[in-house]
């Protein structure tokens, strides 16, 4: 496996923001996640919950709710505007002011014709969904007090609104209130506090389910407007509700960090008489669960502790597979760190600023696993704050460490770094080509002479960099002329010799461009899972790709086909433990000294694939480092296989091999993230 000098980097203070809202698109099986930073992420449920798209947020966005209408995603926020997102190019398409003050909720009807938003001023506003825009239609009867939650009846004829101390049912035709359901306040000290109905769900049989701040989940009948049953779920608030597609299960997220499931079960087996019964409690969060989704086969929840948790419901899953594992997604599925291999610099991307660090140095030699003395401490060279409200969507540092580029939705900036002993200064490159208005992904060529910026419609702009002139070379476009709607590129990989550039977009297409001819060289066959990481081998110029379902492919660029090794992998199949890993590989790198070694990492391990060794078959021990160590030297070769895993590090954000054969591992321990979270609600623990 080889020995490395490892930089254990712990100074990347990455802090994810809390999850505020979740919305599920059942046709495409996608989940939209809104975070308090204003960013919206799209996860693909069918593709192992791979984070396909990230729409960066902006200051004071305060997205409160999300709603899908067909393939279109809308959000409403406390800033009072409804936004529609351009999911292809990963940005906000347009915003429209609802003129009702801050908005707490947005809901679409099942027919996909209307959107309803609940406003601070007590109005429910209906918008008609038109081609390319939305059109205000009417206000429902204005109420006193804010509208906090909305749910359409599946027929679209009625809408239920959760308010302060009450629930209202509106007729959408007439706009009049049909029922006024009073929700009792909590007991004790909270009697004087208004009861907030945080979530409502309207079922097709006329049952209304509500969750409120007194900790109760209540079941109402809309025909008579009466309370059928009340379940005290928590001492604190019930913050979110979600119903499954078949309306047999409802989940409620609470302030205690629990998700409580209710099921529509027959009280006496074999009889039709059914009742909502509280059944399971899932506790996967430490803080408020602000949003939940019941997908039928899994319960998805997110909240203040920033984790996106997928809890599979094993009783609904037919066969054991990769869906059966509990997933906790803490980190974005793309790298926020870029590294200047030659200069030993690390660029960290925060939502609102960039940080450039120089790695420490050590000249000591020690035994394996020991800590070396640090000669020079790591040093923060730069803290670059961005201008404007938009958050950074991508950034890169050139391998020589001379150039830094970042892009927001609105602007693209390139800086030149002057490192003069201890004096660090940067100058903004002012005269950039006009086409570089924004980029989805930035990459430098290995000799730092070219800048590649992925732009709309999967196009990549190439800019040649020099000390003085920055010339736009050309725009590389995928050949297919008819597919103008191709989605944004989220990965770029340039070859070491400067000949090739590979780009991957969220439609799972991988294009390879010839940089000498400046045109498309070939297209890798589309695989049915997104590419999570890829890189071009420095010596063989093979493109190495890892997909969200943990499959690995090696594609020979020159021969335009998969390599023999890749075919062998596909023939043999990967080890089931490798396929069962629940976080995607986010970075691929190579060891120039040992060309057969490929270094991969995901959030919990990094791994070296040795292409010369045989692949593990399903009967062999996969995590075999410890057994190998105990074996005598002769037997090791017999038992060793291609995958060598290393789990010594805490949660990993980035692993890269530097020019000087030292390994950089950027760790972000989850305990440190948890320590920065606000205190959770007080809970009595036994024996305290």
Partner 1 sequence: MVEQSGVRVVRCGGNKINFRAPIITKDCRFLICGSGDSVKVFSTSTEECVHVLEGHTDQVTGVALNPANHLQVYSCSADGTVRLWDFIDGILIKTFIFGYPILSLYVSEKHAGVIFVIVAMENQNKGENFQLLALHLPKVPDQEVEAKDMFAVLCDISPNPGSTAFGQGGEYIASALGLRLNVYFFRKQKTYRFSLKATDKKGAKNAFTCVACHPKDDCIATGHEDGKIRLWRNFNQKKEYTYSTQHWHHNAVSSLCFTPEGMHLLSGGVESVLVQWHCEEVNKKDFLPRLGGAISHIAVSSDGQMYCTSHSDNKINIIHCSFKLSAVIQGLVKGNIWTDLVIDSRTKALVMNGRPGHLQFYSLQQDKQLYSLDIVQQEYIYEEGLDQFEVMKAVFDVRGNWLATVEERGRDSDLEFALKLWGFNESAQSLELNTTITAAHQDRITSMCFSPSTETTMLVTAAKDGQFKVWLLGTDSETQKEQASWSCDFVGSYHGLQPTNCCFSSDGSLLAVSFEEVVTVWSSDTWGLLTTLCQPPGPIRELCFGRLSCSKYLLATTPKNLLCWNLLTCSLEWSTPMDVHLLRSDPLSDIIAAFCLHSKSSNLFVFRPSEPRPLFTQKAVCEGKVQRCVFAPRAEPLDSCDERFQWLNRSRLYYLTEKMELLSFSTQTEDERILKSRKQLLVDDSVAVTPFYLLLGKHRRQQEEEDKLNFMTNKVSERTQHPQASVAVKELLHTPAHVLPAASFLCSMFVNSLLISNTESREEKQPSEKDEDSDKEEDDSEEEMETGDGQQEIRTQGSVEEAPPKLSKAEEKELRRVRKTDFSWVTSLSSS
Q: Residue 540 carries which DSSP code?
A: T
Q: How far is the CB of 214 from partner 1 (least distance, A)?
A: 12
588, 600 contact by CB (below 8 A): yes
* Chain-centroid distance, C-alpha 234: 29
243, 261 contact by CB (below 8 A): no
Q: How far is the CB of 234 from partner 1 (least distance, A)?
A: 8
**Largest Cα–Cα separation, the chain:** 84
Of 149 and 210, CB closest to partner 1: 210
Cα–Cα dist 190/198, whole Å: 16
Structure tokens at 273: 């008489």
Q: Residue 592 carries which DSSP code?
A: T
Under 8 Å CB-to-CB from 507, ≥6 apart: which residues?
A: 486, 487, 526
Q: How far is the CB of 16 from partner 1 (least distance, A)?
A: 23
Of 35 and 218, CB closest to partner 1: 218
Of 372 and 580, CB closest to partner 1: 580
Q: How far is the CB of 29 from partner 1 (least distance, A)?
A: 22
Of 257 and 478, CB closest to partner 1: 257
Of 314 and 484, CB closest to partner 1: 314
181, 169 contact by CB (below 8 A): yes
H-helix or E-strand spanning residue 609? strand 606-610
Q: How far is the CB of 225 from partner 1 (least distance, A)?
A: 21
Structure tokens at 599: 């270094």
User: In terms of C-beta density within 10 A (0-12 exposed, 13-18 middle, 19 or more buried), how is residue 679 classed?
Assistant: exposed
Closest CA to 228 of 219, 236, 215: 219
User: Could you give the 3-state DSSP secondary structure of residue 672?
Assistant: helix
Buried b (16+ CB within 10 A) or exposed e, 316-352: eeeeeebbeeebbbbbbbbbbbbbbbbbbbbbbbbbb
Q: Residue 196 carries which DSSP code?
A: B
Of 268 and 367, CB closest to partner 1: 268
Structure tokens at 659: 């020019």
Structure tokens at 626: 């410890």
Q: How far is the CB of 221 from partner 1 (least distance, A)?
A: 17
Of 264 and 606, CB closest to partner 1: 264
H-helix or E-strand spanning residue 633? helix 633-639
* CA separation, residue 336 to residues 157, 348, 366, 585 (Å): 46, 6, 31, 14
Q: How far is the CB of 265 from partner 1 (least distance, A)?
A: 5
Q: To 10 degrees, the CA torsion angle through 471, 473, 476, 481?
A: 110
Q: How far is the CB of 270 from partner 1 (least distance, A)?
A: 7
195, 166 contact by CB (below 8 A): no
Q: How far is the CB of 682 from partner 1 (least distance, A)?
A: 17
Of 229 and 561, CB closest to partner 1: 229
Under 8 Å CB-to-CB from 608, ≥6 apart: which residues?
A: 1, 2, 591, 597, 598, 599, 600, 643, 644, 646
Buried b (16+ CB within 10 A) or exposed e, 367-405: eeeeeeeeeeebeebbebebeeebbbbbbbbbbbbbbbb
Q: How far is the CB of 334 from partner 1 (least distance, A)?
A: 30
568, 618 contact by CB (below 8 A): no
Q: How far is the CB of 301 from partner 1 (least distance, A)?
A: 18
Cα–Cα dist 557/552, whole Å: 16
Q: How far is the CB of 231 from partner 1 (least distance, A)?
A: 7
Of 269 and 671, CB closest to partner 1: 269
Of 266 and 620, CB closest to partner 1: 266
The site for partner 1 (CB under 8 A) is made up of 229-233, 261, 263, 265-270, 277-281, 314-316, 686-687
- When computed from its CA atoms, the radius of gyration of the chain, rounded to whole angstroms, is 27
Q: How far is the CB of 215 from partner 1 (least distance, A)?
A: 9
Cα–Cα dist 474/470, whole Å: 12
Q: How far is the CB of 686 from partner 1 (least distance, A)?
A: 6
- The DSSP bridge partners found for residue 274 are 266
Q: How far is the CB of 279 from partner 1 (least distance, A)?
A: 4
Of 254 and 446, CB closest to partner 1: 254
Structure tokens at 481: 């002329």
């Amino acid at each position: 496996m080889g020995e490395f000098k490892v930089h254990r980097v712990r100074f990347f203070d990455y802090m994810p923001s809390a999850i505020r809202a979740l919305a599920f698109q059942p046709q495409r099986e996608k989940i939209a996640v809104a975070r308090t930073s204003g960013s919206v992420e799209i996860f693909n449920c069918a593709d192992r919950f791979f984070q396909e798209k990230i729409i960066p947020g902006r200051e004071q966005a305060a997205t409160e709710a999300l709603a899908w209408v067909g393939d279109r995603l809308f959000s409403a926020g406390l800033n009072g505007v409804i936004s529609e997102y351009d999911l292809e190019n990963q940005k906000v398409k347009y915003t429209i002011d609802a003129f009702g003050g801050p908005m707490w909720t947005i809901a679409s009807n099942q027919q996909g014709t209307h959107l309803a938003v609940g406003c601070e001023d007590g109005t429910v506003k209906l918008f008609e969904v038109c081609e390319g825009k939305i059109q205000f239609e009417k206000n429902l009867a204005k109420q006193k007090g804010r509208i906090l939650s909305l749910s359409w009846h599946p027929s679209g004829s009625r809408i239920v609104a959760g308010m302060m101390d009450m629930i209202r049912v509106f007729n959408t035709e007439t706009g009049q209130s049909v029922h006024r359901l009073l929700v009792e306040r909590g007991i004790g000290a909270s009697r004087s506090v208004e009861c907030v109905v945080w979530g409502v769900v309207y079922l097709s049989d006329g049952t209304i389910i509500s969750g409120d701040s007194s900790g109760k989940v209540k079941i109402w009948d809309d025909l008579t407007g009466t309370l059928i049953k009340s379940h005290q779920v928590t001492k604190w608030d019930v913050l979110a509700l979600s119903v499954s597609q078949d309306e047999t299960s409802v989940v409620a997220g609470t302030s205690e960090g629990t998700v409580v499931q209710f099921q529509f079960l027959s009280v006496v087996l074999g009889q039709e008489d059914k009742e909502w019964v509280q059944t399971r409690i899932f506790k996967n969060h430490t803080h408020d669960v602000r949003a939940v989704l019941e997908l039928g086969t899994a319960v998805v929840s997110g909240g203040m502790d920033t984790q996106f948790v997928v809890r599979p419901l094993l009783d609904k899953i037919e066969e054991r597979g990769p869906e059966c594992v509990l997933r906790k997604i803490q980190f974005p599925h793309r790298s926020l760190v870029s590294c200047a291999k030659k200069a030993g610099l690390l660029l960290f991307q925060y939502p609102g600023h960039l940080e450039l660090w120089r790695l420490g140095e050590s000249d000591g030699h020690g035994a394996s696993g020991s800590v070396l003395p640090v000669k020079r401490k790591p040093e923060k060279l730069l803290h670059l704050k961005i201008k404007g409200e938009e958050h950074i969507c991508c950034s890169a540092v050139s391998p020589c460490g001379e150039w830094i580029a970042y892009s927001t939705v609105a602007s693209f900036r390139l800086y030149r770094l002057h490192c003069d002993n201890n004096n660090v200064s940067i100058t903004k490159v002012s005269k950039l080509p006009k086409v570089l208005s924004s980029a989805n992904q930035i990459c430098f060529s290995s000799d730092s002479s070219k800048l590649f910026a992925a732009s709309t419609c999967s196009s990549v702009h190439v800019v040649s960099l020099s000390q003085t002139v920055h010339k736009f070379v050309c725009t590389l476009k995928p050949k297919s002329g008819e597919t103008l709607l191709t989605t944004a590129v989220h990965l770029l990989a340039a070859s070491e010799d400067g000949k090739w550039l590979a780009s991957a977009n969220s439609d799972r297409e991988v294009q390879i461009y010839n940089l000498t001819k400046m045109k498309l060289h070939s297209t890798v066959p589309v695989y049915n899972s997104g590419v999570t990481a890829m890189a071009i081998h420095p010596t063989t110029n093979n493109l190495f790709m890892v997909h969200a379902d943990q499959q690995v492919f090696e594609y020979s660029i020159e021969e335009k086909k998969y390599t023999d090794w890749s075919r062998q992998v596909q023939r043999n199949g990967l080890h089931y433990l490798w396929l069962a890993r629940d976080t995607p590989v986010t970075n691929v790198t190579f060891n120039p000294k040992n060309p057969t070694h490929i270094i991969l990492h995901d959030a919990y391990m990094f791994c070296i694939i040795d292409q010369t060794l045989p692949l593990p078959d399903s009967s062999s021990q996969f995590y075999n480092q410890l057994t190998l160590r105990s074996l005598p030297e002769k037997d090791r070769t017999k038992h060793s296989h291609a995958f060598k895993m290393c789990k010594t590090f805490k949660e990993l954000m980035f692993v890269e091999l530097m020019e000087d054969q030292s390994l950089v591992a950027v760790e972000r321990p989850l305990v440190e993230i948890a320590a920065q979270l606000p205190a959770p609600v007080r809970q009595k623990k036994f024996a305290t």
